[in-house]
Amino acid sequence: MPAMMLSLAAAFTVTAAYPAEAAGMKRTITMVAVEPKGGTTVDKEPFPTTALPEGKGYELKAPNAEGRWEVSTYRWEPSQIIVNQGDEVTLEVLGVNGAEHPAVIDGYDITFTVKRGQLSTVTFTADKAGVFEFRCGIHQPSMTGELIVLPSG
Ligand SMILES: [Cu+2]
């Protein structure tokens, strides 16, 4: 029992000290630009009567001749990135769906384009704390995410 308590105490110390000791780390975040899709037929589920928000980020296809309807959306995955202020952050974004995604990270004046089949790499120092939106210039309003930079100190 004492040994177990000691190891728990050690684990807690490491966890509690993580943000301060980890600041300034090199972080690589792997992401994808994807288009999840779903669909069914009107004999199983009626076609939705409520429209989705305007923009190319959402698509609701009306039933075809066989009664099949489909829904899809464009997403960044993950769409929330959490780093510590001072970290050197590298985003490696693979384009899986969609020909291209011109992206911007607000507050950091960073722009990059993700193309299908290519890995786009963006490296920056997260020197400003706060919550910064990043988004695709084409697939709105869904292809939006947050860069969350936790303040150091
Ligand atoms: Cu896009």
Q: What is the pLDDT of residues 56-109, one digit of tens each?
A: 999 999 999 999 999 999 999 999 999 999 999 999 999 999 999 999 999 999
The rounded Å distance from CA 101 to ligand 1 centre is: 4
Q: Where are the alpha helices (DSSP H) in 2-105?
A: 2-22
The rounded Å distance from CA 147 to ligand 1 centre is: 17
Q: Return d(Cα 18, Cα 128) in angstroms, integer.
A: 19
**9 has pLDDT over 80:** no
Rounded to whole angstroms, the maximal C-alpha distance in the chain is 70
Of 2, 101, 119, nearest in space to 56 by CA: 101
If DSSP codes are grouped into helix, strand and coil, which group holds residue 148?
A: strand
The reported pTM is 0.82
The rounded Å distance from CA 14 to ligand 1 centre is: 39
Q: Which amino acid is at 54?
A: E
Of 28, 34, 27, 26, nearest in space to 94 by CA: 34
Q: What is the pLDDT of residues 13-67, one digit of tens each?
A: 444 445 555 568 999 999 999 999 999 999 999 999 999 999 999 999 999 999 9
Mean pLDDT of 107-134: 97
Which superfamily does 24-33+75-150 belong to?
Cupredoxins -  blue copper proteins (2.60.40.420)
The rounded Å distance from CA 90 to ligand 1 centre is: 19
The DSSP 8-state label assigned to residue 66 in this structure reads T
| pLDDT at residue 19 in the model | 53
The rounded Å distance from CA 65 to ligand 1 centre is: 29
The rounded Å distance from CA 142 to ligand 1 centre is: 9
What are the domain boundaries of the chain?
A: 24-33+75-150, 37-72
Burial of 83 (0-12, 13-18, 19+ CB in 10 A): buried
pLDDT category at 123 given cuts 50, 70, 90 is: very high
